[in-house]
Amino acid sequence: MSGPFDTVSDEAIGEGTATDAYFRRTERTLEHAGKNPRVVAEVTVDQFPTGEFDALAGVKDVANLFEGRAVDVDAIPEGRLFDGGPVMRIEGPYLEFARFETSLLGFLSQASAFATRALEARRAAPDSQVLSFGARHVHPAITPLVERAGLLAGMDGFSHVAAGEVLGREAGGTMPHALMLLFGKGEQEAAWRAFDEAVGEDVPRVALCDTFTDEVDETLRAAAALGDDLDSVRIDTTGSRRGDFRHIVREVRWELDAVGREDVDIFVSGGITPDAMRSLRDIVDGFGVGSYVTNADPMDFALDIVAIEGEAISKRGKLSGVKEVYRTADGGHHVGLADNEAPADAEALFEPLVRDGEIVAEFDVDAAAARLREDAELVDLE
């Protein structure tokens, strides 16, 4: 039974009805013909390395998808970078996983795209606070996917309350323009003071300073109104009013310093991209990044059979045979047949994920974030 919102249920995903119709027809055809061979299938974006690395995410959801199914799954762990070749390998009777291909690819495609974009943002300002502000750009049902991708990429936090409940993390945030508008023009001090009085002591006092007047004017007024309680100001100037945004932020910093408020940080948000972060990171203490991450195009993952009953096979344009992928000592990515000798001093990237329907991998987003940070350094990711 469908609910009030246009989402499929967990049950539909787990039962395999969240699938393309041709998989159900394939099942009926194979059952009619009495065919259900043991196969190996691999998930890839590109067949060969291209020199461009992406971050893998969504693996945890795939593991849960195959729990209780008579299959073995190996995968590159979350928090590793990949460049061509397979990121996942599934082995078992074909009818054990045929109908789950659609959900499997969806889990990986969108999460990996979000994580890759989030990593680009994180590395653009490695010494700054970077928060995920993108939840408003996606369907509410997948906000945990967005926020988990941000954590995986090393972002310092996120804004979505319900996603935080799913992930076991507390959401954070400052104040919206709506709050300032509801107090009214000329009453900015009243809004800032009310916020200070209303929220808990553990909430940073970050004043939004661009609603009615000049950013410098509102910043200095906030500093005067809240005194030493003011931790930071947020500048979220509308794009049509920004002009030279770096110059605006430098003015804010200058005037804060001029009145002895070197302790007040500056946080910026609104259409922030890695290029903007690189241009501002020497004068800005923190960034809110939203649409740059959530506007990412899903990665074009595909699942292809590469062996049937131990015999290598593939469709035209794909590479037959069971493969392994490696991180080479110089930070490269190598794809080879699993039976061939590995490159010298290379690390095999596949690890067991599911064995005969039992999840055997562990999922810790902090450990995955540490792996991704190390991997990005090793491959010299920009």
CA distances 59 to 101, 108, 286, 294, Å, are 14, 7, 30, 19
Report residues of the chain scoring pLDDT below 50: none
Specify the pLDDT at position 15.
Answer: 96
Give the integer Cα–Cα distance in Å for 145 and 23: 26
- What whole-number distance in Å separates Cα of residue 240 and Cα of residue 63? 45
pTM: 0.95
The answer to whether the beta carbons of residues 240 and 214 sit under 8 Å apart is: no
Find the helix packing angle between 215-226 and 188-198, rounded to 10°: 50
Per-residue model confidence (pLDDT) at position 152: 97
pLDDT at 24: 97
60-64 contact pairs (CB < 8 A, 24+): 60/363, 61/107, 61/111, 62/88, 62/104, 62/107, 62/108, 62/353, 63/353, 63/354, 63/359, 63/361, 63/363, 64/359
The shares of helix, strand and coil residues in the chain, as percent rounded to the nearest 5, are 40, 20, 40
List the beta strands (DSSP E) in 115-259.
Answer: 129-132, 157-158, 206-208, 232-235
In degrees and rounded to multiples of 5, residue 65 shows phi and psi of -60, -35
Per-residue confidence (pLDDT) for residue 231, from 0 to 100: 98
Contact 372, 55 (CB under 8 A): yes
Predicted local distance difference test score (pLDDT) of residue 72: 98
* CA 280/CA 273 separation, integer angstroms: 11
Question: How confident is the model at residue 1, as a pLDDT?
Answer: 56
- Nearest by Cα to 209 from 167, 139, 264: 264
Amino acid at 118: A
Q: How far is CA 382 from CA 174, 275, 298, 373, in A?
A: 30, 12, 21, 12
pLDDT of residue 242: 81
C-alpha span between 206 and 227 (Å, rounded): 12
Q: Which of 12, 268, 247, 242 is nearest to 121 (CA)?
A: 268
pLDDT of residue 137: 95
* Residue 317 zone, left/alpha/beta (φ > 0; ψ -120 to 50; rest): left
